[in-house]
């Protein structure tokens, strides 16, 4: 199996552990300032990103703005777990060449733009994107006083474990 896929699966597995710990009320609780987003909205957003990747068209175009946004995933742990399992199964069976050139459509704040990528670069971005959202989820968990015992949750693997003065 490709290292990008293995890394993504390892990262996504953390969401499975989290969803097994949460109640539906925890998943959709949007009471934490300043953004008032829920754990569920972040989980749904992560999985929608992967879903866009799986919807690559015959011209090797992937539209990251074409997200399904199933609100049940934001409010029901079972729906979120099902979506996660489907995503992980699709990743496991993904047949790709990391060097394949693709075009990614995204909105960077000024409207949709077409950006040249490789498939491997987009999958790598998806993994980093997931970790970034885990950091936000970790903040929400802390404010909701929900313990999640994973010292790496929300930390990029390159993040130092101790303070360093190297710049």
Confirm whether 111 is domain-assigned.
Answer: yes
Q: What is d(CA 39, CA 42) in angstroms, rounded to the nearest whole number?
A: 5
> Can you give the residue range of the structural domain that contains 59?
3-143
* 149 occurs within a structural domain: no
Whether 89 is in a domain gets the answer yes
Helices 77-92 + 3-21 axis angle, to 10: 170
Q: Give a yes or no: residue 19 inside a domain.
A: yes
Do the domain assignments include residue 21? yes
When pLDDT is averaged across residues 152-167 and rounded to a whole number, the result is: 70
Nearest residue to 60 via CA among 117, 124, 20: 117
Domain count, the chain: 1
* Residue 161, domain member (yes or no): no
pLDDT in tens, 123-152: 999 999 999 999 999 999 999 999 988 877
Tell me whether residue 123 is in a domain: yes
Q: Quick check: is 157 in a domain?
A: no
- Within 8 A by CB and 6+ apart from 107, the residues are 64, 65, 113
Among 47, 84, 81, 86, smallest CA distance to 67 is for 47
CB 131 within 8 A of CB 142: no
Specify the higher pLDDT residue, 159 or 65.
65
pTM of the model: 0.91
Dihedral of alpha carbons 132, 133, 136, 140, sign: negative
SS3 164: coil
List, for residues 10-51, the tens digit of each pLDDT value: 999 999 999 999 999 999 999 999 999 999 999 999 999 999
CATH number of the CATH domain containing 46: 1.20.120.450
DSSP code string of 87-99: HHHHHHT----TT
């Amino acid at each position: 199996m490709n290292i990008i896929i293995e890394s993504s699966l390892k990262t996504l597995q953390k969401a499975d552990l989290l969803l097994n710990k949460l109640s539906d009320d925890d998943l959709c609780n949007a009471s934490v300032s300043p953004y008032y987003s829920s754990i569920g909205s972040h989980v749904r957003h992560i999985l929608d990103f992967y879903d866009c990747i799986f919807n690559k068209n015959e011209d090797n175009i992937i539209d990251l703005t074409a997200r399904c946004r199933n609100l049940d995933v934001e409010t029901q742990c079972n729906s979120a777990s099902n979506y996660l399992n489907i995503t992980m199964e699709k990743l496991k069976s993904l047949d790709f060449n990391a060097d394949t050139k693709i075009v990614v459509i995204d909105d960077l704040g000024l409207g949709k733009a077409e950006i040249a990528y490789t498939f491997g670069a987009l999958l790598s971005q998806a993994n980093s994107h997931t970790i970034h959202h885990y950091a936000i989820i970790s903040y929400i968990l802390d404010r909701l006083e929900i313990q999640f015992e994973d010292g790496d949750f929300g930390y990029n693997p390159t993040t130092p474990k101790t303070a360093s003065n190297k710049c």
